[in-house]
Amino acid sequence: MIHHYSIAVEDTKKVAEVLNKLFKGHITKFTPRENSYMLWFDDTYGSAIELYPIKTEMLPGKDNEAAKFSTNVKASGYTATHAAISVNVDKETIIKLGKSLGWRAKELPRGGFNVIEFWLENRVMIELLTPEMAADYLEAFAREKKI
């Protein structure tokens, strides 16, 4: 169970608002890092996405210290980190939303199931699965488990 994950984006508030159109939860400030927000899915698991300012890096603390935030001005803003997340929204709505923002949103195969690559600010990808895509994903997972 993944309860939350974090990504860095240029316009944290705007991205939180866009994601909220897909997940239909609520947004709060994330106070440990200035200009950061949390998008809560409002599900029974406390699922959320933390949105940090672009070029934010998280560094390990020393001994018993918590992780520390840092800004790396040389960071490109691209990342391999991504998540596949089910949404209760149809494919047309997702594609239309991406198009309206000038963000890449394209349905693509992933070997036994499809996802919509939804590129936040054309920099950070999340894979969105409509209810039908999620069912296909779970079916593919069930087949994989039997191997």
pLDDT average per 10 residues of sequence, the chain (147 residues): 92 98 97 96 96 96 94 93 95 98 97 95 97 95 75
Model pTM? 0.90
How far CA 72 is from CA of 53, 58, 76, in Å, comes to 11, 10, 9
Q: Among all chains, which residue has been given the structure tokens 């300012």?
A: 53
Taking only the tens place, the pLDDT of each residue in 43-67 is: 999 999 999 999 999 999 999 999 9
DSSP for 68-103 reads EEEE-TT--S--S---EEE-SS-HHHHHHHHHHHT-
The packing angle between helices 12-23 and 91-101, to 10°, is 160
Kindly state the tokens that stand for 105: 């949103």
